[in-house]
Structure 1
Amino acid sequence: MTVRLRYDDGTIRIDADEPLPPLPGVTDDERTGDVRAAAFRYAAIRRALEVAGRSVDDAVLATEPLALSTAYDLRPYQREALDAWTDADRRGVVELPTGAGKTVVAIAAMADRDRPTLVVVPTIDLLEQWRSELEREFDVPIGQFGGGQQRREPITVSTYDSAYLKADDVGESFGLVVFDEVHHLGGEGYRDIARLLPAPERLGLTATFERPDGEHRAIEELVGPLVYAVDVDSLAGDHLAPYDVRRLEVDLTDDERERYERQQGVFVEYLRESGLTLTSGSDYRKLVKRSGRDPRAREALLAKQRAREIMMNAERKRDVLEGLLDRHREDRVIVFTAHTDLVYDLSERFLIPAITSETGAAERREILERFRDGTYSRVIAANVLDEGIDVPDANVAVVLSGSGSEREFTQRVGRVLRPKADGGRATVYELVTADTAEERVADRRR
């Protein structure tokens, strides 16, 4: 007998007149008498029915071929990535360094599959970049969810936020979904995007797949496993610029050292007295929860934050930066920091255009365009350029401060790795305050 599959508000409804074979993730629906499963199970359910020899009346997707083609000539590693994804039943994650052409791999996959596609991105900047790229490459209308528009087309680009709101309304429209910066999908709310879409083919793109909190395992279930990865060093010199990372240590001033040790001491003393150890992110979250009911825990966290700000914003980092800017006056330089206040301070001190989360989109585009055309030779930013923005070519990065995140460091290094016209090397300077916790932070991210 025939099994009927249909899509209904983020679920797959399964109707059959005879008992069903074992199917992944199905539950009984007491209201209707049929069975259902989360939409992302669609491909596995269809495959299980076929293996069981059951005839399927499939009304889940309403899609037609689009006659897509691309003029991109894939580099060898891009072809390997696409082939690996294809061999994994077109479900999985591709990990490539920033600047290595993840978008090219996705466009090639879209052309190869020739079916309606939803591309999900984390920021408005990426939304606009993807839409422009797709409009140049494909002769079909490109829709957009986000940025003031809600227009569905056979190929549509959406922010994660908009996709979260619309996934159960548009699920039957797309056979392929591309998750750019797929590590964002590990967030609990965003996972529903992948759960509610039945698209059998799924491609995740990222520069660093693993999340410190381990939630990349959820992504593996919803999108697929890591099917291809290549690191920066494997591509440097051939497809990316060769580069050097130079770690420069600075000392705290006497006043900064006294204040740092005092604040750090408050934090360490609380941990000792309370018997706490911080060996993972979950341990730190426990301390944060405790601070809601324990004033001493709250004061310890505040002291830790004050100590962190002292070491990350050390005055002598400014002196070293001044020397680096002078040394690289003929180069194109991006300065990264962890704190917005420091960005504005350095912007005023060295007359460098600043980009922060407070910078409007139009102003940010203008600064980057002037950086691109050579009007500006340097910019300074607090985190906002780490990902999701097409940053013009630069050959020197100065990391004044940051987190212990490998992803953050990888993204920042990637900003200066585009191949240089003159074949020159890129340089990344990492400024670290000596004899502080920042040394451990730097070691961890490296």
Structure 2
Amino acid sequence: MTDDTLEDFYDAIQDLGHPVLTAEELARALDCSQEEADRRLSELAGVGLVGRRDVERDPVVWYPKEWDQQARRERVVTFPNRREFVVSHPEQFTRARLSTFAHLIDTNGSGDALYRIREEDVWGAPYDDLADLLLALRRVTGERHESLEEWITRQWKRARQFVLRTHEDGYTVLEADSESLMGNVARQVLGEDQLHAPISDTESWVREGSEGEIKRLLYDEGYPVRDARDLDTGDPLEIELSLELREYQREWVERFTKQKAGVLVGPPGSGKTVAGMGAMAAVGGETLVLVPSRELAAQWRESLLESTSLSAAEIGEYHGGKKEIRPVTIATYQTAGMERHRRLFDERRWGLIIYDEAHHIPSPVFRRSADLQSKHRLGLSATPVRESDDEVEIFTLIGPPIGTDWSALFEAGYVMEPDVEIRYVPWRNEAAESEYASAVGHERRQVAASNPAKLDEIRRLLEAHAGEKTLIFVDWIDQGEAYAEDLEIPFLSGQTRYAKRERLLSEFRHGTREVLLVSRVGDEGIDLPAATVAIVASGLGGSRRQGSQRAGRTMRPVGGAQVYMLATRGTEEEEFVRDQLRHLQRKGVNVIEADAETA
């Protein structure tokens, strides 16, 4: 009876010409009562042969059960005029292909992802020739899209119309594909600060040290500049790794060594530092590592000693506390950019320069260090976004992005996706709410951030997560000191002496301290590998990068993690926190909203 009904079910679907039917439609097809048709369909559903779905207008619709499995299969829909792809349930192969020529715009919780091809994606695509890039595109879409391929072809050619090369006499030359490009583009955009004089109709003599500025200025005009100079590779330095790279880290390193320049982009906990050491081993030359803080310099030194064959005598630090130039030198951006120190770095021919926390590069203080020249230039950043919208300069000054989309690493289990919850906290009393209502500007935001009820919520969260390693973030020193006294936990800020800071961090890393209160000094440059809970009490007016960095402190290869973002209900903080977490949501991180408990 079941087999006969299933055959009747498929016959009815075919006759109707649409993929679902109701009991009433089956009843008409079988010339039986609706009650009988509903009973038969329920029997088929009971043995797993058909599925049922409640919808708004019809009480129930029925469909072939195997379509559930088909719905979970990969499907790519291309919008060639918008240069976008909607990919349902993308497989690892498809994600890997797309990451080489497209940008992940957004994802949702249903397994769908939106990708877009931007100009800079084509300019930096890691392919030897255009044919390889177009083949990769066709393998993703399964067909040819003439208008899209024509646009990609134009961008590919555009990215190869200017080149910096070394003249046989040793100076640098800017060369254009045509006389028109040199005269109407380069010489209109570039002035005496960048070019000495014309050499020919298509060549110009470059002023020494202006190469980085030339790249930026022409990039802004829509013309990327290839760097084909004969830069020294530095003295050779044999480096062996004592650990095994993950598959995606090997892919990062292979792509970098092929391109010789790029920025590794991946979530916190994905092992970008390890991949950086892999790049050092692959290049095999003397290396300069630039970092934003002396704490991060010390961590790099420790990691190199633990994970490579380098000896202590081969690693130097150059910052406010130490002044050592060695085959591998770790320096702060600020020190490397100072005129009185920069000559020391310029005189040494580095085989590789690594820019850690590379999102700092566009800022004026850090940009000076980007003019240091090397044959290999590698940036590392989890969050290459900037509120000044100049993040494209990160890739202009260092190299094109290299990386794996975050959701792929979450699904593979390399990095644990945190549970992020926006928790809305009411005012503790009318007096606090009145103070907010009468405040203006920056003071208004600070009053909302310091809502006394947040301390009550922090106590509840600490009790709920007793025994777990927890970080509490605040933006204001006064607030941090008050919380430290009330909660009886140490507060780590920029004012904390270096020795005490290192002791607190060591205690937290090794499990002898479970809770730590941290100011903005913890947003980056400090390695907190085992945090399982993060509570952001204030700082919700900060940047998208800050939100990602703080949530990222819990993204590690093992164990679950929970992030709480506290925002005062009915204030500007509500919108601030949503804006701040939008970047994480685009990376596939699930964000939920809830109300805090009330006393």
TM-score by length of 2: 0.59
For residue 476 of structure 2, what is the aligned residue in structure 1?
A: 339
SS at match of 2:521: coil
Is 2:246 the counterpart of 1:75? yes
Map 1:32-111; keep pairs closer than 5 Å.
Answer: 35-38=206-209, 40=211, 47=228, 61=232, 63-87=234-258, 89-111=259-281
Is 2:386 the counterpart of 1:251? no
Specify the code of the residue in structure 2 equivalent to 1:414: G
CA distance in 2 between counterparts of 1:237 and 1:222 reads: 32
CA distance in 2 between counterparts of 1:35 and 1:393 reads: 49
What per-residue deviation string (whole Å, max 9, x for no partner) do you get for residues 268-323 of structure 1?
Answer: xxxxxxxxxxxxxxxxxxxxxxxxxxxxxxxxxxx211111111111111111111
| Among 407, 423, 433, the residue aligned to 2:568 | 433
Is 2:331 the counterpart of 1:161? no
For residue 125 of structure 1, what is the aligned residue in structure 2?
A: 295
Report the CA distance shift for 1:160/1:236 in structure 2 as closer, same or farther (over 3 A). Answer: farther
Q: What is the RMSD of the two structures over their aligned residues, measured on CA atoms?
A: 2.8
Is 2:556 the counterpart of 1:418? yes
| Among 430, 443, 446, the residue aligned to 2:578 | 443
SS at match of 1:204: strand
For residue 188 of structure 1, what is the aligned residue in structure 2?
A: 364
Deviation at 1:103, TM superposition (A): 0.5
Q: Is the 8 A contact 2:248 2:404 kept in 1?
A: no
For residue 389 of structure 2, what is the aligned residue in structure 1?
A: 214
Specify the code of the residue in structure 2 equivalent to 1:220: F
Q: Is the 8 A contact 2:167 2:173 kept in 1?
A: no
CA distance in 2 between counterparts of 1:365 and 1:98 reads: 21
Is 2:521 the counterpart of 1:371? no
Q: Is the 8 A contact 1:70 1:111 kept in 2?
A: yes
For residue 279 of structure 1, what is the aligned residue in structure 2?
A: none
Q: Is the 8 A contact 1:371 1:392 kept in 2?
A: no
Compare relative contact order (CA 8 Å, sep 6+) and give the higher one, 1 or 2.
1
Deviation at 1:34, TM superposition (A): 6.9
CA distance in 1 between counterparts of 2:247 and 2:233 reads: 35
Report the CA distance shift for 1:232/1:348 in structure 2 as closer, same or farther (over 3 A). Answer: farther
Specify the code of the residue in structure 1 equivalent to 2:568: T
Deviation at 1:22, TM superposition (A): 7.0
Q: Is the 8 A contact 2:233 2:374 kept in 1?
A: no
Q: Is the 8 A contact 1:40 1:199 kept in 2?
A: no
Report the CA distance shift for 1:373/1:92 in structure 2 as closer, same or farther (over 3 A). Answer: closer
SS at match of 2:240: coil
CA distance in 2 between counterparts of 1:214 and 1:254 reads: 39
SS at match of 1:397: strand
Report the CA distance shift for 1:45/1:369 in structure 2 as closer, same or farther (over 3 A). Answer: closer
Q: Is the 8 A contact 1:97 1:232 kept in 2?
A: no
Q: Is the 8 A contact 2:235 2:349 kept in 1?
A: no
Deviation at 1:228, TM superposition (A): 2.1
For residue 310 of structure 2, what is the aligned residue in structure 1?
A: 139
Deviation at 1:71, TM superposition (A): 2.6
Q: Is the 8 A contact 1:250 1:434 kept in 2?
A: yes
CA distance in 2 between counterparts of 1:306 and 1:408 reads: 20
For residue 3 of structure 1, what is the aligned residue in structure 2?
A: 168
Deviation at 1:355, TM superposition (A): 0.6
CA distance in 1 between counterparts of 2:430 and 2:169 reads: 75
CA distance in 1 between counterparts of 2:405 and 2:211 reads: 28
For residue 195 of structure 2, what is the aligned residue in structure 1?
A: 27
Q: Is the 8 A contact 2:257 2:282 kept in 1?
A: no
Q: Is the 8 A contact 1:175 1:199 kept in 2?
A: yes
Task: Count how many residue pairs are aligned between Structure 1 and Structure 2.
Answer: 379
SS at match of 2:168: strand
Q: Which has the larger radius of gyration?
A: 2
Report the CA distance shift for 1:328/1:256 in structure 2 as closer, same or farther (over 3 A). Answer: same
Deviation at 1:412, TM superposition (A): 1.2
CA distance in 1 between counterparts of 2:460 and 2:290 reads: 42
CA distance in 1 between counterparts of 2:227 and 2:273 reads: 29
For residue 295 of structure 1, what is the aligned residue in structure 2?
A: none
CA distance in 2 between counterparts of 1:46 and 1:160 reads: 23
Unaligned 5+ segments in structure 2 are: 1-165, 175-180, 199-203, 216-224, 582-599
Identity %: 31
Deviation at 1:47, TM superposition (A): 2.6
Report the CA distance shift for 1:145/1:348 in structure 2 as closer, same or farther (over 3 A). Answer: same
Q: Is the 8 A contact 1:154 1:173 kept in 2?
A: no
Q: Is the 8 A contact 1:236 1:243 kept in 2?
A: no
Specify the code of the residue in structure 2 equivalent to 1:341: D
CA distance in 1 between counterparts of 2:563 and 2:227 reads: 49
Is 2:422 the counterpart of 1:241? no
Report the CA distance shift for 1:417/1:219 in structure 2 as closer, same or farther (over 3 A). Answer: closer
SS at match of 1:375: coil
Specify the code of the residue in structure 2 equivalent to 1:71: S
CA distance in 2 between counterparts of 1:209 and 1:180 reads: 11
CA distance in 1 between counterparts of 2:327 and 2:251 reads: 27
Is 2:398 the counterpart of 1:398? no
CA distance in 2 between counterparts of 1:305 and 1:182 reads: 29
Deviation at 1:200, TM superposition (A): 2.2
For residue 310 of structure 1, what is the aligned residue in structure 2?
A: 447
| Among 438, 460, 464, the residue aligned to 1:262 | 438
What per-residue deviation string (whole Å, max 9, x for no partner) do you get for residues 55-109 of structure 1?
Answer: xxx6x6372211222133111221232233234x221111111221111111111
SS at match of 1:3: coil
Which consecutive segments of 4 or more residues in structure 1 shift more than 6 A?
Answer: 21-25, 42-46
CA distance in 1 between counterparts of 2:477 and 2:513 reads: 20
Specify the code of the residue in structure 2 equivalent to 1:308: R
For residue 489 of structure 2, what is the aligned residue in structure 1?
A: 352
Deviation at 1:153, TM superposition (A): 1.6
CA distance in 2 between counterparts of 1:78 and 1:115 reads: 20
What per-residue deviation string (whole Å, max 9, x for no partner) do you get for residues 374-420 of structure 1?
Answer: 33211111111111011241211111112342211111112122234
SS at match of 1:186: coil
CA distance in 1 between counterparts of 2:516 and 2:226 reads: 51
| Among 400, 404, 407, the residue aligned to 2:545 | 407
SS at match of 2:523: coil
TM-score by length of 1: 0.78
